[in-house]
């Protein structure tokens, strides 16, 4: 395997429990198999460095990997929901249908792992997208 940030992310999204480079020593391969077999995650040295840097980036940016995937429109919908706007009001503001707003809302909840509008509002306040006094 090769050490590329996007490739590593996609591998873990697909369910990989370990990652090492194809030019690793045979002893490292044996160690990786044992580690994964024992239900632990194995990262080769160069891969662990990349994963650590990715994590540090997300922590410093104050965002989660899922938040990075939000579209500009989803961020707009989130902001308006947090301000207490109805789906109809958001649809009018964005010049889209109510159904489109509902789809954006569902995508937001799925991507952020949230279940209710209240969760979305709390999330938006926590992330500074809207102040508590606005809601």
Q: Would the pLDDT of 105 be above 80? A: yes
On whether the pTM is more than 0.75, the answer is no
Give me the residue spans of the domains in the chain.
5-62, 67-134
Across the range 122-130, mean pLDDT stands at: 79
CATH class as words, domain 67-134: mainly alpha
CA pair distance 101, 28, nearest whole angstrom: 50
Across the range 5-25, mean pLDDT stands at: 82
Structure tokens at 83: 């301000």
State the pLDDT at residue 123.
84
Residue 26 CA, chain-centre distance (Å), reads: 34
Strand partners, 18: 42
Across the range 88-103, mean pLDDT stands at: 96
Confidence of residue 3 (pLDDT cuts 50, 70, 90): low
CA pair distance 15, 30, nearest whole angstrom: 20
Q: Would the pLDDT of 61 be above 70? A: no
Across the range 117-125, mean pLDDT stands at: 85
Least confident of 32-46, 63-77, 109-123: 63-77
């Amino acid at each position: 395997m090769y050490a590329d940030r996007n490739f590593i992310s996609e591998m873990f999204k697909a369910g990989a429990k370990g990652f090492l480079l194809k030019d690793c020593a045979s002893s490292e391969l044996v160690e990786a198999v044992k580690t994964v077999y024992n239900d632990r995650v194995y990262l080769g040295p160069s891969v662990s460095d990349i994963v650590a840097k990715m994590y540090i980036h997300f922590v410093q940016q104050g965002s989660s990997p899922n938040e990075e995937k939000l579209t500009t429109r989803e961020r707009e919908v989130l902001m308006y929901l947090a301000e207490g706007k109805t789906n109809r009001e958001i649809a009018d503001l964005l010049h889209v249908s109510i159904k489109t707003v509902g789809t954006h809302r569902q995508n937001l909840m799925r991507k952020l792992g949230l279940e209710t509008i209240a969760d979305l509002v709390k999330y938006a306040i926590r992330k500074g997208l809207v102040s508590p006094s606005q809601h």
